[in-house]
Amino acid sequence: MKHRDYMTGYKATDKDMKCQGFQYELGKWYKHEGDVKLCSSGFHFCIHPSGPWSYYNDTGTRVFKVEARDAYEEYTPGADLKIVCREIRLTEELKPSGDQAFDYTVFKNLPGWTLAKCKALHQKHIDGRKQK
């Protein structure tokens, strides 16, 4: 397991900025008390912007850029590489503007199949909004 004092990544929440029942606010630091263990305790996030979609893809899912302190990484290949940390702050929301095309340049370094999945999910979201 690799330790990092500071790193950045991406985190998903529901439409109300909650994840696993925990309420977040943009720009505020949160600290986990107690053990930090991947998939068990602490704050979790992904290294790649497509990663959160591997865990959350419900209507209303929101994805944020994050900063993390006291982070632990267990390497497994894939776009959904997940990290656990003691402290986290959501710094910026990634979102499409209106019905315009999403800026997929944030995904430019990802494998083609991942980019295609992200585009398909975005199009499904846009199509769903048009039907309402």
CA count, 13 A, side-chain hemisphere, 65: 8
pTM of the model: 0.71
Residues in the chain: 132
Q: Which residue has the tokens 């370094």?
A: 109
- Provide the residue-wise pLDDT of the chain in tens; the chain has 132 residues: 789 999 999 999 999 999 999 999 999 999 999 999 888 899 999 988 888 887 887 888 899 999 999 999 876 665 567 899 999 999 999 876 554 445 545 554 555 545 555 556 555 544 444 433
Give the dihedral sign, CA 12/14/15/16. Answer: negative
Question: From CA 44, how far away is CA 70, in angstroms rounded?
Answer: 12
